[in-house]
Structure 1
């Protein structure tokens, strides 16, 4: 794995970026793939089987992006709501394509059992540029709060608002990549005028639970399902994964609401963030997508089998 440069090439050490530095950073971002071809075309092919809606629109200069969501066609008010999100960080490819793969291959298995709401690519500008931020150098996954600065996050919050207090489960699909350490964390430190502190990228899949409301059995059910597809990240020598103490095998915890993370946007009792590791020599892109889909299936299966899921499912 490459190591980060001693100093990020934009800005001056210890000084947060201003407009000049942000403009310089933006000028270096290039479109590398197509949201329309990779994502919108797939959603269109799903339209005969699911309800598809545009829940927002992003206008970034000459770039225009419809934000699309997929819903169960047989939506019923007496069924629990399951929220699936991907591509909050656009460069985390399997989050997007794993969500779409789940809808295509598995969603029909849950017809009449849950209401599915899927936002497969929350950050299309970043998807095309294989980046973590939006064009304003803002991380959408720290912006899921009322005063958040990312339009991507605000649009998703508006979509989810009507079901916020009725959701049973939310799974947010992410990746941890080698470029987190070589590009994105160094850029973050430079943007904020802070020193970069190197970390260790975990080799394998892991989950992020909510430290304020943990559900350890739920998390372990996902770990057991995903390890049939890809390997689980071990703790490092300090008993940590990516700088956080391991709460259980393959699981760390963050205060989701405090950090403004996507997984905090509902009151769902079951919440998790997946982290696939696509840079391992032991996995393929197909395995990464399959791991995300397996995590979604395991999550829904668990909550439907739980006492909570059964009671909500019977509610009139």
Structure 2
């Protein structure tokens, strides 16, 4: 269904030029502190894990260093797991769920896995509560060679520097009301296309890979999360965000073709979590808990197969 919604920047049907992107950037404001809310939580974790700075964003290299945490008993004989959060900086539980997993659960899995966690891939997006970076580029559509996103390129370089295969990658995200109120209308305006209103599902769901769906892995992850929060139901057409469900709470995307973070490796087990923090049925802590439950459920499933 098309919408009469008119975005305040740009002309309908015309892609943004640098002029419109500059107008958009000028109205973006800082709303919270990456240093206070994220970096200060990472520093004490450096006592138990290797805290690595793998880069910094050129927008402000002092303000936006990029960090990852690694388990210390790294062993080339163990499978390696990648956990990412904050690829879309505005998706809060992705960031804080990743940090909570490191703080409370990572030690329990470090004998079995090498684990590396990049909890806030897009710190400028975190501070401005934004899906894009300052260049109006979506990092989560930019995981490919010669990426236009510093955030994506930095994470890809970090993963390449590990020099090992990734067995599993869990990418922690949210779907929020602002997706339809701001971000999808802005995307349509930027690309000069008509905005078609969608529906935000109330609950948790997963996005698997069309080319490597791993249905049992996705199911185990959903079952773990179910203990913490409710699973998103499909709409009347059996879909979630326009995609047909493959099982309860699971849809698939062609992750590599779309340049998604979850497609940046050739992992055997990959998934993207989606929490709905605007639901009246949850609070912020429950959203973080759901992200942790997704990671632990995924890892518990893999352990049974090793």
Give the equivalent residue in structure 2 for 1:215.
214
Judge conservation of contact 2:34–2:123 (CA < 8 Å) in 1: yes
Q: Structure 1 residues 300, 44: closer, same or farther in 2, change over 3 A?
A: same
User: What SS does the corresponding residue of 2:81 show, helix, strand or coil?
Assistant: strand
Match of 1:25 in 2: 24
Match of 2:13 in 1: 14
Task: Give the equivalent residue in structure 1 for 2:264.
Answer: 265
Name the structure 2 match of 1:284: 283
Q: What is the CA–CA distance in structure 1 between the aligned matches of 2:180 and 2:169, rounded to whole Å? A: 27
Partner of 1:184: 183
Tell me the distance in 2 between the aligned counterparts of 1:293 and 1:303. 16
- The structural deviation recorded for 1:62 is 8.2
Offset of residue 19 of structure 1: 1.0
Q: TM-score if structure 1 supplies the norm length?
A: 0.94
Change in 2 beyond 3 A, CA 1:164/1:278: farther
Is 1:67 equivalent to 2:66 in the alignment?
Answer: yes
| C-alpha deviation, 1:111, in angstroms | 2.1
2:56–2:62 contact (8 Å) kept in structure 1:
no
| Shift >6 Å, 4+ stretches | none
CA positional deviation for 1:147? 3.0
Which residue does the alignment assign to 1:118? 117
| CA distance in 2: counterparts of 1:272 and 1:164, whole angstroms | 22
- Paired residues in the alignment total 304
TM-score (norm 2): 0.97
2:241 is matched with 242
- Specify every segment of 5 or more residues in structure 1 that has no aligned partner in the other structure, as ranges: 311-316
Q: Distance in 2 between matches of 1:228 and 1:251?
A: 16
Does 2:38 correspond to 1:39? yes
The 3 A distance-change label for structure 1 pair 63 and 8 is: farther
Kept in 1, the 8 Å contact 2:35–2:63? The answer is no
Deviations 1:117-137 (A, max 9, x none): 000000000000000000000
Equivalent in the alignment of 2:93: 94
Matches of 1:195 and 1:145, distance apart in 2: 26
For the pair 1:109 / 2:141, whether they are aligned, the reply is: no
Native 8 Å contact 1:51 1:70 kept in 2: yes
Unaligned runs of 5+ in 2: none
Residues in 1 aligned to 2:164 and 2:199: alpha-carbon distance in whole angstroms: 37
**What pairs up with 1:52-63 in 2 under 5 angstroms?**
52-60=51-59
Paired with 1:63 and 1:178, the residues of 2 have a C-alpha distance of 32
